[in-house]
Structure 1
Amino acid sequence: MALTAADYNYLRLCVDLAQTALYAGDEPFGSILVNQFGDILYQDHNHVAGGDATQHPEFAIARWAATNLSPDERAHCVVYTSGEHCPMCSAAHAWVGLGKIVYATSSQQLQTWLQQWQAPTAPVATLSIQQVAPQLETEGPVEEFEEEMRDLYRQAFAKQPQ
């Protein structure tokens, strides 16, 4: 399926949230929850710098949605995110029954870049959303955001600036 202009606008907001996180001293990840009418219901960025590595925006979205939306409303929402969900966030997304996920960059892209930069790897396996929750519909990565996200990740994770 081809992305719409609205999809690109939502992803642009996610990349902007990732940049906000980076400038606040955190890891550059940002996500939004959009209902079936195109309304942004929730938006957030990473908050892991405080020491709690579970403070991902995608996980926060799942918790918020479980508390504030009916199962039917959750199923018709789309989560847009600057980077593909990690295994924890993919599982949370599936467990609460959220709809489609659209991501700007993939976990595989990030893993490749981290290796190139000799950066520490994550403490959990790099798995695609489909490996964790095969029934979830996804779209990504989106080439138009690759260079910008790569630069944000480089600033956050590379041992030495390149």
Structure 2
Amino acid sequence: MNTQLTDVELRHVARAVDLAAEALAAGDEPFGSVLVDSGGQVRHEARNLVRTTGDPTRHPEFELARWAAAHLNGEERAACVVFTSGEHCPMCSAAHGWAGLGRIVYAHSSAELTRWTGEFGAEPGPVRPLDIQAVAPGVEVQGPVPAFTDRLRAMHHELHIREAGRI
């Protein structure tokens, strides 16, 4: 689903992309996410912490699901929107579904990321990329958001260059 986002929603996506840039600057994979409640208030933010912690489950989308499960009731979780730099992986899609969170808006898709990493010559990840709704069919999904494509592609390219030892 790729419908028009409001200016406020675009700002939330932009914040998720900024968090991805923060993750990259800290030595991690460029992913970031923002949890926004039904009143438009940012409830929690997270960025990727996989490399800096050594824990491969420290994806920001999973962090938001954990936080929401601990701090919000089911009705509040269902009314929240997750704005994220990249489409959820299967692990994060499952966490989102199990936590009962609402809509997801992502800046780049898993298909785009797979294509980019292939172009960079990177090895595929350990888990098959699946559309969010293949894992959590009841979740409303919106994305990608083309306004962020070039910036995100550049971040993933920088990560690949670092991993290849070229910078």
Q: TM-score, normalised by structure 2?
A: 0.94
Partner of 2:10: 8
Q: What is residue 35 of structure 2 aligned with on the other side?
A: 33
2:19 is matched with: 17
After the TM superposition, which parts of structure 1 deviate over 4 Å for at least 4 consecutive aligned residues?
none
Identity %: 50
**Residues 1:77 and 2:80 are matched in the alignment:** yes
Q: Residue type matched to 1:146 in 2?
A: T
Q: Residues 51-110 of structure 1: CA distance to partner in whole angstroms, max 9, x if unpaired?
A: 111000100100110010000000000000000000000000000100000000000000
Residue matched to 1:149: 152
Cα deviation, residue 120, structure 1: 1.6
Deviations 1:124-161 (A, max 9, x none): 00101011111110100011000000000111124477
Aligned equivalents of 1:42 and 1:77: distance in 2? 11
SS of the residue corresponding to residue 107 of structure 2 reads strand
Alignment: residue pair count: 161
RMSD: 1.1
Equivalent position amino acid for 2:5 in 1: L
Q: After the TM superposition, which residues 71-150 of structure 1 pair with which residues of structure 2 at under 5 Å, given as runs?
A: 71-150=74-153
Q: Which runs of 5+ in 2 are unaligned?
A: none
Distance, in Å, in 2 between the alignment partners of 1:144 and 1:118 is 25
SS at match of 1:148: helix
**What's the counterpart of residue 65 of structure 1?**
68
Q: Take 1:147 and 1:135, find their aligned partners in 2: how far apart are those partners?
A: 30
Report the TM-score, using the length of structure 1 for normalisation.
0.96
Q: What is the distance in 2 between the residues matched to 1:52 and 1:67?
A: 20
- Which runs of no fewer than 5 residues in structure 1 stay unpaired? none
